[in-house]
Amino acid sequence: MSLFIKKPLAQLMAASAESDKSLKRTLGAGSLIALGIGAIIGAGIFVRTAAAAGEHAGPAVTISFLIAAAGCALAGLCYAEFASMIPIAGSAYTYSYATMGEFVAWIIGWDLVLEYALGAATVSIGWSQYFNEFLNTFFQVHIPYAWSHSPLEISNTTVGMYAAELGTRGIVNLPAILILFLLSLLLIRGTAESAVVNNIIVVVKVAIVLLIIGLGWSFINPALHTPYMIPADAGVVKVSAGTVDYSETFNHGWLGVLRGASVVFFAFIGFDAVSTAAQEAKNPQRDMPKGILVSLVICTALYILFSHVLTGLVSYKDFLIAGKEASVSYAIKAAMPGYGWLANFVTVSILAGFSSVILVMLMGQTRVFYTMSTDGLIPSVFSKLHPKFRTPYKSQWLFFVFVSLFAGFIPDKYVGDMVSIGTLFAFVLVCLGIMILRKTDPNITRPFKTPAYMIVCPLGAIICLCMIASEGWENWARLIGWLLIGFIIYFGYSIKRSHVRRGVVEGAVDPVNPKYVE
């Protein structure tokens, strides 16, 4: 039987009908937009911005954001068409199952683990850094370096809260595991309750970003924006996990800006997390495109302004050493005298903001695996719903353990890079999926159509591929290794238990061939 067997659209639509065995529809357009902003504004703007500027792009990280936003906008238009047409949980996995077949869908679903699960791990590591900043600021205590960092990190700073622990190696990042545990409990309680918490946090996050932009603008030092791109002779900087050599190909100039785009790309993955909640939206055909595109536009504008201000307050090299832990608070304290209160407020707000990002990522991952489980590609434990809350609670606990292993023992740099390359790969396939479906099923009802799809789709795929190309061989090796593990699971387990292959149809069959569709 073909590896590219497709799941009938009639079956997908039947699965989207609400019942006692399905996810509960509780989210409106406003909640979906807030869900997108909640996922987008977080580690990307408060941590990855500093990482991209410090290691690759310098002040030109604003251009990196523009490149990343262009790729996301084009992919977002494709996501919006899919989400309005196939309004069920599963995101790119579900879309590819209907357009490119089961094997491609499996690759996407497995790849999305890198996006959502490791995305949650990356942000929880950032949360840990700011939590220590919070304890140090308000209570003059902090969790020792060894118990708030991975074993792959060594303290190398002579300033700040870890100055006395110079040369200390990390053991495990306990605060990161703590926040994952608490948010897993909240998600098990219910999607509606989680959305209310997220909406409140989103208001706080946007307010603090606007405050930093508005108040910090007058403190920008133009000299820090010259040269705008990192020169090849900028030298070598020692960091906690090694060194950063600016003479390397992707650490200066335009190629550094492109590499920076692949780093800050992590900051945009929230908009596609909206699509994982399609089966919990009240009116998905109308509201899903709004949730995806509006959240993307709002956050892109904020990112560019924010990164311009941040790189104008302190040198990009500072983000690698003194500013690594809680870079935004460091920049405010170092360059904005009299605004210590703002740095303190930022620390508290960012803690809340990071929490909402982790919340959305954990929810997105379990919803993807929920759909894959109902298709028989992974064990049924991932689609078991809580008898009262109708949430995939067993899956939530399993992913808590999985994500905690990465958050507790791997530095954010490595985890974040894996997230970016995995997400970019998924975006390429989503762009191609729209082109395929327009040719194979031109008469399907499309509440939202991707404009000029023959330009938007290939251009979106090309931009994402360019960012993937800049990731470096280490990240390519990790992606290939991850996919090989996925292939072993698919051919050893999934292909034998696929419901579509076995003719196990939930609510609908293809009228031509009730067993399967090729």
Instruction: Return the number of other C-beta atoms located less than 10 Å from residue 408's C-beta.
Output: 23
**Is pLDDT of 191 > 90?**
no
- According to CATH, the superfamily of the domain at 9-219+264-311+319-502 is Amino acid/polyamine transporter I (1.20.1740.10)
pLDDT, average across residues 465-485: 85
Reported as a single tens digit per residue, the pLDDT across 112-163 is 887 788 888 988 988 898 898 889 888 889 899 899 999 988 887 666 677 6
**Mean predicted lDDT score pLDDT of the chain:** 81
Q: Which helix (H) or strand (E) holds 236?
A: strand 236-239
The segment with the largest mean pLDDT, out of 37-51, 451-465, 490-504, is 451-465
**Is pLDDT of 17 > 60?**
no
Q: Which helix (H) or strand (E) holds 202?
A: helix 191-216
Q: Which helix (H) or strand (E) holds 497?
A: helix 495-497
Alpha helices in 375-411, H assignment, sequence order: 393-409
DSSP-assigned letters across all residues of 442-490: TTS--SS--TTHHHHHHHHHHHHHHHHHTT-HHHHHHHHHHHHHHHHHI
More confident residue, 31 or 261: 261
pLDDT, average across residues 404-411: 92
pLDDT bracket for residue 25 (50, 70, 90) = low
Q: How far is CA 278 from CA 15, 16, 135, 364, 505, in A?
A: 12, 9, 38, 10, 21
Q: Quote the CA–CA distance of 317 and 109 in Å, as a whole number.
A: 37
241: closest CA among 405, 414, 119? Answer: 414
| β-sheet bridge partners, residue 243 | 238
Q: What pLDDT was estimated at residue 57?
A: 93
Point out the least confidently predicted range of 272-286, 305-319, 344-358, 414-428: 272-286
Q: What pLDDT was estimated at residue 27?
A: 67
Q: Which amino acid is at 451?
A: P
Q: What pLDDT was estimated at residue 393?
A: 84
pLDDT bracket for residue 508 (50, 70, 90) = very low
**Is pLDDT of 177 > 50?**
yes
More confident residue, 224 or 34: 224
Point out the least confidently predicted range of 5-19, 59-73, 153-167, 481-495: 5-19
**Is pLDDT of 353 > 80?**
no
**Is pLDDT of 518 > 60?**
no
Q: What pLDDT was estimated at residue 513?
A: 37
Q: Which amino acid is at 344?
A: N
Point out the least confidently predicted range of 190-194, 373-377, 474-478: 190-194
**Is pLDDT of 509 > 50?**
no
Point out the least confidently predicted range of 7-16, 163-172, 230-239: 7-16
Reported as a single tens digit per residue, the pLDDT across 296-339 is 888 888 999 999 999 999 999 988 876 665 688 889 988 999 88
Q: Which helix (H) or strand (E) holds 245?
A: strand 242-245
Reported as a single tens digit per residue, the pLDDT across 246-295 is 999 889 999 999 999 988 887 777 666 666 666 666 776 677 777 778 88
What is the pTM assigned to this prediction? 0.73
**Is pLDDT of 95 > 80?**
no
What does the CA dihedral 53, 55, 57, 61 come to, rounded to 10 degrees?
-20
